[in-house]
Structure 1
């Protein structure tokens, strides 16, 4: 996600939590740059299926501070008012939130947000709003 979109997302999300100064960020351990960027080798971790993440603490607006051009893969405030997940292999960011927060995200002019259901696909070719360019390897 480009930095201006991270900033817009953080701005909206900060308004939809009672703990904007108390946020957690998970960075996937598979990033080769993790150690050189100061991610804690033996520090706190959070695990999701197939992904172990270094856990870093900060404010909601700290999400904009990318590590080597990578933003966090997971982030949530201490009050768990919402949850953001961006898988390293996918093209979308998924956000679980209140309906009021979802409406604010959809209304923001910099963000592209759609409602999701359990049947939405989230693989590389499932974006109906931004279709893939033609395959350069197809004759």
Structure 2
């Protein structure tokens, strides 16, 4: 893997740009369309697992059963769990932390990367982008982080800025900075896309889920994966903290 020009992702920035304009921002803030381009056939949202790293691993469906709430496309964890925003949840006497925002855990990333790789004609040409604001993640300094790039990718006039790397499907499944068992730097890519433009994956830094746009066949494979907890969404699905209008508890 090597760091490359941010210009490789300019088409993604251009696709998202119009939703970050004054005319559309209020209506589309926090939606799928502000996270991945809106031209794909289908979309899916992967819900980040709770726990791991010594804690019990639980799915959002486990929380829903315990709280009598519902998993649906626009679900927000605090409303699902009936807690405050970013608060832990008491589940069977065990205080469980909320799902991680801005990163997909190593196990889920590996499974998702496998599905993405077999649904592109260019599995040896996949671009990975990581937000420049993560502490400890610095090209050429952090463990395994490539260097020698040519400019970053700026989205929506700098609303988000990313380091961009060129690699392949194996790198997506386990980025070189993960180290052994993902212990050294577990930051998953915040954006990824193949050279043939057949899909786009996005883990927005403030969201506790990952969104993929692609073919109907790819999205169906993700939804039906036994290892992932995923729900089909649309470009208009609201992923903001106010987007859950089904589970109406306060958060």
Shorter-chain TM-score bucket reads 0.7 to 0.9
How far apart, in 1, do the equivalents of 2:148 and 2:123 lie? 26
Where does structure 2 lack aligned partners over 5 or more consecutive residues? Answer: 1-103, 178-184
Q: In structure 1, the residue corresponding to 2:230 is in which secondary structure? A: coil
Q: Which residue of 2 aligns with 1:87?
A: 204
Indicate the structure (1 or 2) with the bigger Cα radius of gyration.
Answer: 2
The residue that corresponds to 1:73 in the other structure is: 190
Q: What are the superposed Cα offsets for residues 60-93 of structure 1, whole Å, 9 maximum, x if unpaired? A: 2212335411000000111011000001111111
Higher relative contact order (CA 8 A, sep 6+): 2
Would the aligned equivalents of 1:64 and 1:71 in 2 still touch at CA under 8 Å?
A: no
Q: CA deviation at 1:34?
A: 2.2
Alignment of 1:42-121 (within 5 A): 43-49=150-156, 50-66=159-175, 67=177, 68-121=185-238
Q: Determine if contact 2:126/2:193 at 8 Å carries over to the other structure.
A: yes
Q: How many Å separate the matches in 2 of 1:47 and 1:96?
A: 20
TM-score, L = length of structure 2: 0.47
TM-score normalised by length of structure 1:
0.82
Structure 1: gaps of 5 or more residues: none
CA apart distance, 1:42: 5.2
Residues 1:19 and 1:109: Cα distance change in structure 2 (over 3 Å): same
RMSD: 2.3
